[in-house]
């Protein structure tokens, strides 16, 4: 009986750890994208303004397919660097899902996640503002 329980814990643990280590789109956005696109995706940062980034929540950007967004993020576009070497597929999916939150007038709520205290977002990013 005890052995069965132990086996069960051993079998389940990797999944629990994996779920925990899953890519956090908000944290990735904050560390790699917010400096240009802004916490609210509107691109009103100094860098964003000088590079003329579009509002990520605007219909023009939101009508891009996930594949089109992924291509821009992986390969870069104009002054935007590509993130081919630093984002794996799981991270790309997570950050694109986060960019989708800027659509539908929900950018303020998305920004509040970005602006939340460091502890509520996973480790591994520097504060950018
Ligand atoms: C150095 C500044 C910079 C960083 C960092 C940056 N971007 Fe961009 N991004 C740009 C610029 C400039 C464009 C617009 C290129 C154009 O349309 O000419 C752009 C375009 C885009 C687009 C396509 C929409 C459009 O306006 O063409 C998406 C989606 C996007 N960025 C997402 C991201 C994501 C996600 C990250 C982080 C992983 C990121 N960007 C990081 C500057 C940046």
Report CA torsion sign: 87, 55, 108, 103: negative
Place of tokens 């993020």: 73
> What is the model's pLDDT at position 115?
73
Residue 95 is part of which domain span?
23-122
Between 2 and 24, name the one with better pLDDT.
24
> What is the model's pLDDT at position 19?
46
Identify the residues whose C-beta falls under 6 Å from ligand 1: 32-33, 35-37, 47, 51, 53-54, 61, 69, 72-73, 77-81, 83, 95, 99
Nearest CA owner, ligand 1 atom 1: 80
Question: In this structure, is residue 46 part of a structural domain?
Answer: yes
**Per residue in 102-127, pLDDT tens?**
997 666 777 777 777 654 444 444 44
Question: In this structure, is residue 6 part of a structural domain?
Answer: no
Between 6 and 63, name the one with better pLDDT.
63
> What is the model's pLDDT at position 1?
62
Question: How confident is the model over 35-45, as a mean pLDDT?
Answer: 96
pTM over 0.95: no
> What is the model's pLDDT at position 110?
74
Best mutation site among 50, 53, 76 for ligand 1 pocket (most ligand atoms within 8 Å of CB) = 53
Question: How confident is the model over 52-71, as a mean pLDDT?
Answer: 96
> What is the model's pLDDT at position 10?
60
Question: In this structure, is residue 57 part of a structural domain?
Answer: yes
**DSSP for residue 120:** G
Place of tokens 């940062």: 45
Q: In CATH, what number is assigned to the domain containing residue 28?
A: 1.10.760.10
Contact 56, 41 (CB under 8 A): yes
Question: In this structure, is residue 1 part of a structural domain?
Answer: no
Question: In this structure, is residue 2 part of a structural domain?
Answer: no
For residues 117 and 83, what is the distance between their CA atoms, to the nearest angstrom?
Answer: 25
Question: In this structure, is residue 14 part of a structural domain?
Answer: no
Question: In this structure, is residue 11 part of a structural domain?
Answer: no
Place of tokens 């935007």: 80
Question: In this structure, is residue 127 part of a structural domain?
Answer: no
Which of 52-83 are b and which e, b meaning 16 or more Cβ less than 10 Å from the residue's Cβ? ebebbbeeebbeeeeeebbeebeeeeeeeeeb
> What is the model's pLDDT at position 17?
46
**DSSP for residue 124:** S
Between 27 and 107, name the one with better pLDDT.
27
Which candidate, 33, 37, 55, 56, places its Cα nearest to that of 46?
Answer: 37
Q: State how many domains the chain has.
A: 1
């Amino acid at each position: 009986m005890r052995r069965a329980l132990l086996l069960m814990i051993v079998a389940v643990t990797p999944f629990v750890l994996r779920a925990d280590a899953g890519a956090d789109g908000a944290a990735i956005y904050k560390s790699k994208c917010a400096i240009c696109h802004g916490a609210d995706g509107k691109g009103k940062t100094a860098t964003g303004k000088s590079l003329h980034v579009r509002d990520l929540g605007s219909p023009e950007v939101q009508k891009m397919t996930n594949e089109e967004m992924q291509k821009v993020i992986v390969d870069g576009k104009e002054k935007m660097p590509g993130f081919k070497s630093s984002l794996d597929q799981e991270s790309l999916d997570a950050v694109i899902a986060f960019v989708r939150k800027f659509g539908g007038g929900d950018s303020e709520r998305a920004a509040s996640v970005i602006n939340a205290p460091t502890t509520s977002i996973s480790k591994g990013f520097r504060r950018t503002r």
